[in-house]
Each structure stands twice: as C-alpha cells, then as structure tokens.
C-alpha cells in the first residue's frame, strides 16, 4: 500500500464486517450455490423456464457448479446474496485508504460511483464510524436501475456492451437504504445521488473528495465519473478503479482520462481486477 502512514491494526468489528459483507449467509463455509440461471447472464436467461420445468420433474440436465469460497473471498464472482461483489482484498484497500486519509488529514468526502447493493459504500461509512469521523460524508452515485444502454455515438468503446440487459445489476435505492439500516449505518453522513452519472455528477453538491471509488463497468460511466469527480479530489486523495482489468472499455477510459488530465502518479494493482492511485500532495 503506497501511503505515507503506517496502517493501524484493524478492529474486530471491521475485520468481521469485511467477511460478512463479502458473503453474509455463508461466512466460514467453503462453497455455496451461485445465482439462479435467470440472472446468470443474458444469453442463458431464455433457458430458465425450460430448466425450471425439467427440475420440477426431477430431471436435472446440468448440475449447478458451486462457487468456491476462495473465489468469493477474492471478489471474482457476482454473488447471490452478499452485499458487495468485491472481495476481501478490495475491502482492505478501502480500509487502508481511509486510514491514510484520516492520518494524513486529506480533506473531503468519499464517493462510490456504481454501488449495486451498497456493500462497499456501507463499508466506507462503517470505517468513518469506527474512526469517529463525523465531518465527512459518503456519497452513493447510481442509477439504482442498472447500467445505461450503450451510447455508441459518443462512446465507441461501449458499442457491444450489453450489461444494461442484466437484471442482476438493477438494485433499487430502497433496497440499498434498507441494507444500510440493517447495519445501523443509515444516517445523515450517507448521501444518495440517484440517476445517470451524466445528469447527477455535474450537479452534485460535493465540494471536496478524499476518496473516489469507481465501479461502473463501462467506458461512458467511468469517463463521466472521472471527468466530474477528479477535479474535486484533494491532494493526497485516492482514486480506486474496480474494473480496470475486468473490462477493456473501463481500462481504456481510465488510460485516456489519465493521459488527457496529465496524471503521472503510478497506478498500483490491488488484485487481478482493481487498481488505485494516490494524487500527489
């Protein structure tokens, strides 16, 4: 971790919270069953009624493969119940960034652009609570209805992107608020920005940011988030990009934005999918 400060030892609460958020029903177990087929991907969705009928008659054509615990711990799958897709290392990265921000007095709020069920943003709020920070907010920017249809005219890289068709990525704001409530973390330090980034982010009443976490999969979404949020990042603040190695178009948006904005701070790999960098002081 490229921070100037030594990271303090985490509390039992934060350590347990990370494990619960990754896989809240199956903590400690070694495998579980992944999403039902209708949510698995758009190509297989049409097979669902057939699969259901055959199963009812005890005729199982294909056994569902259990997801191994390790895969979930690393955040390389889309979990059925967990509140976040990201795994242990990416939660620990958020934890370490927040420790560094507080210790080094980097000013500004925290934001996640692309929250899904809210687990990673919830973890940011939990960290502020843990460190008794009352003067910073956690912003949650999301359509709360999934990804946008690709806009191939303005964002060519998204031309073949079909993530907007995946039902599993539509999570409503009420569900996310409810998730925060369950963990006693819904309060006035948590702010919601519902709508498409292109509409909400340019107008967002955010003054300064110390942490920007991008997890919105597409070129368009990644670009719009960087364009509107990066100028608000305080020196010493962090940018985390969840999908850098997962989606080529996301990587392209980040690389092109960094070049255009003259960003030379090196990126650091968190795991096989995510990266972060720290803005120079």
Ligand X SMILES: C[S@@+](CC[C@H](N)C(=O)[O-])C[C@H]1O[C@@H](n2cnc3c(N)ncnc32)[C@H](O)[C@@H]1O
If one asks whether residue 148 binds ligand X (CB under 6 A), the answer comes out as: yes
CA–CA gap between residue 208 and residue 262 (Å, rounded):
20
If one asks whether residue 197 binds ligand X (CB under 6 A), the answer comes out as: yes
Stretch that binds ligand X, among 30-38, 56-64, 142-150, 247-255 (CB under 6 A): 142-150
Q: Which residue, judged by CB position, is nearest to ligand X in the bound state?
A: 114
Q: What are phi and psi of 242, to 5 degrees?
A: -70, -35
CA–CA gap between residue 269 and residue 78 (Å, rounded):
21
Q: Which of residues 53-112 bind ligand X (CB under 6 A)?
A: 84-86, 112
If one asks whether residue 241 binds ligand X (CB under 6 A), the answer comes out as: no
Least distance from C-beta 50 to ligand X, angstroms?
A: 28
**Beta carbon nearer to ligand X, 102 or 274:** 274
Least distance from C-beta 56 to ligand X, angstroms?
A: 32
First vs last C-alpha separation in the chain: 16
If one asks whether residue 23 binds ligand X (CB under 6 A), the answer comes out as: no
* Partner residues linked to 68 by β-bridges: 31
Pick one of 92, 103, 146, 271: the residue that binds ligand X (CB under 6 A).
146
**Beta carbon nearer to ligand X, 247 or 277:** 247
CA–CA gap between residue 48 and residue 240 (Å, rounded):
36
Stretch that binds ligand X, among 37-45, 180-188, 215-223, 256-264 (CB under 6 A): 215-223
Least distance from C-beta 212 to ligand X, angstroms?
A: 13
Least distance from C-beta 115 to ligand X, angstroms?
A: 5
Which structure tokens are listed for 238?
Answer: 């962090």
**Beta carbon nearer to ligand X, 196 or 257:** 196
**Beta carbon nearer to ligand X, 51 or 225:** 225
**Cα Rg, the chain, nearest whole Å:** 19
If one asks whether residue 217 binds ligand X (CB under 6 A), the answer comes out as: yes
User: DSSP string of 77-145?
Assistant: S--SS-S-SS-HHHHHHHHHHHHHHHHTT--SEEEEE--TTSHHHHHHHHHHHHTT--S--EEEEE-SS
CA angle 278–266–155, rounded 5-degree value: 90
If one asks whether residue 194 binds ligand X (CB under 6 A), the answer comes out as: no
Least distance from C-beta 280 to ligand X, angstroms?
A: 26
Strand order in the sheet with 209-214: 190-194, 138-142, 109-113, 209-214, 233-241, 275-278, 268-269
> Can you give the binding site for ligand X, defined by CB under 6 A?
84-86, 112, 114-116, 119-120, 142-143, 146-148, 169, 171, 196-197, 215-218, 221
């Amino acid at each position: 971790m490229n921070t100037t400060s030594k990271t303090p030892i985490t509390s039992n609460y934060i350590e347990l919270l990370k494990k619960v958020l990754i896989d809240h029903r199956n903590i400690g177990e070694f495998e579980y069953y992944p999403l039902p087929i209708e949510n698995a991907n758009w190509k297989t969705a049409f097979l669902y009624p057939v699969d259901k009928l055959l199963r009812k008659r005890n005729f199982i054509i294909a056994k569902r493969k259990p997801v191994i615990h390790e895969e979930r711990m690393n955040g390389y799958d889309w979990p059925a119940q967990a509140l976040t897709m990201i795994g242990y290392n990416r939660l620990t990265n958020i934890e370490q960034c927040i420790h560094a921000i507080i210790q080094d007095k980097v000013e500004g709020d925290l934001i996640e652009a692309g929250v899904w069920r809210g687990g990673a943003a919830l973890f940011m709020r939990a960290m502020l609570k843990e460190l008794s920070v009352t003067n910073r907010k956690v912003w949650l920017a999301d359509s709360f209805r999934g990804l946008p249809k690709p806009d191939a005219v303005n964002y060519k890289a998204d031309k073949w992107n079909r993530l907007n068709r995946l039902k599993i990525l539509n999570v409503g704001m009420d569900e996310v608020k409810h998730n925060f409530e369950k963990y006693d973390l819904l309060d006035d330090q948590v702010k919601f920005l519902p709508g498409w980034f292109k509409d909400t982010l340019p107008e967002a009443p955010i003054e300064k940011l110390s942490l920007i976490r991008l997890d919105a999969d597409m070129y368009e979404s990644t670009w719009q988030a960087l364009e509107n949020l990066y100028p608000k990042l305080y020196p010493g603040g962090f940018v985390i990009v969840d999908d850098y190695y997962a989606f080529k178009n996301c990587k392209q948006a980040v690389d092109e934005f960094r070049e255009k904005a003259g960003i030379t701070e090196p990126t650091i790999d968190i795991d096989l999918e995510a990266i972060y960098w720290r803005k120079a002081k």
